[in-house]
Structure 1
Amino acid sequence: MSIVSEPVARYFPPSSGHYAIKPGFYRLGHDFGNGEADRRLFQLDRQFSHYRRAKQSARREDLDKYLCVTDAGRTLEPALNRFISARLCAEYPEHFRLQQTGERQRLECHLTGDALVFTADGRYLDCRPGERGTAPPYHSGLDALAMQVQEDLTLVCLNGTENRLCAIHLCQPNHWAPRDKIGRDFVGVHQPVPGMERINPKAAQLLQASLRQGPFVRFAWGITTDDRLNHHPEAPARWDREAWSGRAFDPASPAAWLRVERQTLYGLPQINAVLFGIRTYHYALTDLSPTQQRLLSQALASMSATSLRYKGLAGQYQDLQAWLRGLYDAS
């Protein structure tokens, strides 16, 4: 098996010192200071094993809780499988190799040892797992391919001005459940988010731009009191709900992370769909520079009461801000 040596990319979305809900689209490849990583759709780095373990844990808990696909998604999956396989080989030829043998294609995934077998048109057939195997067995091509990358993956199907979330592989959710979102449109998916009412009327325009003019990248961020990747709203059995939430700041033993999502939107006009990738990063607040700590504090101060509640910060805002200000004042 090969090993990823690339460093972890760093992003700081609160750089303006103000919190706002907006599309915030950049062209994929925009220079954020991370070199080749900023130009890639899929970002593999030295934390790959950590992300894979998190995904394996979620799948063992309850695969149906993290993987949801509609009939439309299943119809489009072969084309999606072909695209992802080709893109991985193009971006990381040292880690992936695609071989054609007769009517079958075999994607060798050197990071995991998996060998994924597809028909020539992209239908998933089988996996010859790596030494450690996988449990439960891969359910589909989307399931198998999502386990070779650090991103979570979703697919939005378009039909004129209509759109539907038709496939979700989300093992690192940030307080939302695939079962609640699958089959819904853009407005329905984002209904709980404060401030989205200004963007919802532009939903069709944004998705069509992603389909025809992308690919794009955007960022979302929040604060969490642990660095666990999986924050599904439904805690696993034997977990205390509050402890699972990652929203319990303790001023007596302060710890918090900036949780950043690098969200990519890649249009697939051949199937009239947009592949939406979500790569999660955690940056300890103590590791931010004093300038970044100050800007983050200002961004938090600019949040409305509704946004603070949605982000899970309302009950701990004062304590968190006092600690954060103490960090940059002491520098």
Structure 2
Amino acid sequence: MSDTPGFDFDFAVQAPFRMQPGLRRLAPGTPQLTPAALPQRGVSRHMREKLAVLWAFADDALCSVPGFDARPALDALAAHAAAEHPAAWQVDGARWRCAGLGWSLDADDEPVADADTGWPEIGPFLRQIARPWRRAALLSLAFCEDFAIVDAASGSIPWLAVALPSVWAPAEKVGRPFGEIHAPVADARLIVQAAPQLVKLVTGAERWERFVWTITPHPRLHAHPRRYPPERWAPALLADASGDTLAAQSWWRTERQSFIPVPGTTIVDAGPGQAVFCIGVEVQPLGRALAEPARAQRVHEALASMSEAVLAYRGLGAARAPLLAWLARRAAGDTATA
């Protein structure tokens, strides 16, 4: 099985299932970004979906509170990207270049194509993006991750560039306190109560990561609630007690979330700090993701232990019984399952 880049299955999938911060320090040198476009290797589905979303629904994905200056955080993100993936992304003074797409932004945020190699649609796309958002848009296409800024001074998320949300609307989260953002999440009492400490932690000098997973009936990376079908699995799929037909039309959706400190804003003596919040989404067919019996068993135990509130929040209530039946047989080594 090919894991989501950076997604640690053994750390992320625990039983009994509990909603908790689950933060882990990143070891030095651990990558936080995944190139979505590389020379000679083409582009990922992340880039294709992001381009479609940002072209048609930029206002839903690119959100900021009025007057917020995102440039220090964007500069920190661009420098981090260049150091981590120099073949994919280069920074030369004020010039930022995505090598895989063959396009740069100059000091005036004007798109500049590499001679004879730039993707022809990228120039028109960038030009129709509002100038203050062009650097965020190019970074978004260059990497699989979405980005937000966590600000310790306000305790909020004042800026987001999120094209691939997991059934939440960026415009409804921007500017809101960290704890308030997580308040609607089922069984999230620990996260909400710890919100001030979590914000201070992730905007400090160290790098952190956490993981999220679920099972979904929809294969797209982009899951904005206005474009995400409200219905879950069809009744006919739920009626199959074996879970085979349901599992065959289910996907394993994961997120790896990590934080990049913004130099010059790190908390010192309780001063304000910022971090770039990186959200890496992946979706795989459920049968492929849980091909190994041990993994199917782990997910079976986690799903069986979810509270009714969590099941309802994730839309898994009606699907739990057939999914558990399928997972049990997959865990027992039944290769005939989907």
**TM score, norm. by length of structure 1:** 0.82
Q: Does 1:84 align with 2:82?
A: no
Residue in structure 2 matched with residue 310 of structure 1 by the alignment: 313
Gap change, CA 1:21 and 1:95, over 3 Å in 2: same
Give the deviation of 1:183 after TM superposition. Answer: 1.0
Give the deviation of 1:52 after TM superposition. Answer: 0.4
Q: Does 1:154 align with 2:148?
A: yes
Distance 2:83 2:51 in 1: 26
2:76–2:263 contact (8 Å) kept in structure 1? no
Distance 2:20 2:110 in 1: 41
Distance 2:129 2:328 in 1: 47
Q: Does 1:276 align with 2:268?
A: no
Distance 2:83 2:62 in 1: 26
Give the deviation of 1:21 after TM superposition. Answer: 1.2
Residue in structure 2 matched with residue 11 of structure 1 by the alignment: 8
Give the deviation of 1:9 after TM superposition. Answer: 4.9
Secondary structure in structure 1 of the residue aligned to 2:142 = coil
The aligned amino acid for 1:62 is F
2:89–2:142 contact (8 Å) kept in structure 1? no
Give per-residue Cα distances to partners, 1:223-260, cap 9 Å, x unaligned.
11232101111127xxx543xxx655825633222211
Give the deviation of 1:98 after TM superposition. Answer: 2.2
1:247–1:312 contact (8 Å) kept in structure 2? no
Distance 1:311 1:181 in 2: 19
Give per-residue Cα distances to partners, 1:129-164, cap 9 Å, x unaligned.
5323233633312222222110010112221xx412
Name the Cα RMSD after superposition. 2.5
Gap change, CA 1:241 and 1:185, over 3 Å in 2: same
Residue in structure 2 matched with residue 285 of structure 1 by the alignment: 286
Distance 1:80 1:14 in 2: 28
The aligned amino acid for 1:142 is A
**TM score, norm. by length of structure 2:** 0.81
Give the deviation of 1:201 after TM superposition. Answer: 2.3
Gap change, CA 1:178 and 1:10, over 3 Å in 2: closer
Secondary structure in structure 2 of the residue aligned to 1:315 = coil
Secondary structure in structure 2 of the residue aligned to 1:167 = strand
Residue in structure 1 matched with residue 269 of structure 2 by the alignment: none
Residue in structure 2 matched with residue 99 of structure 1 by the alignment: 92
Residue in structure 2 matched with residue 132 of structure 1 by the alignment: 120
Secondary structure in structure 2 of the residue aligned to 1:125 = coil
The aligned amino acid for 1:146 is S
Among candidates 188, 192, 198, match of residue 196 of structure 1: 188
2:7–2:211 contact (8 Å) kept in structure 1? no
1:212–1:269 contact (8 Å) kept in structure 2? no
2:260–2:276 contact (8 Å) kept in structure 1? yes
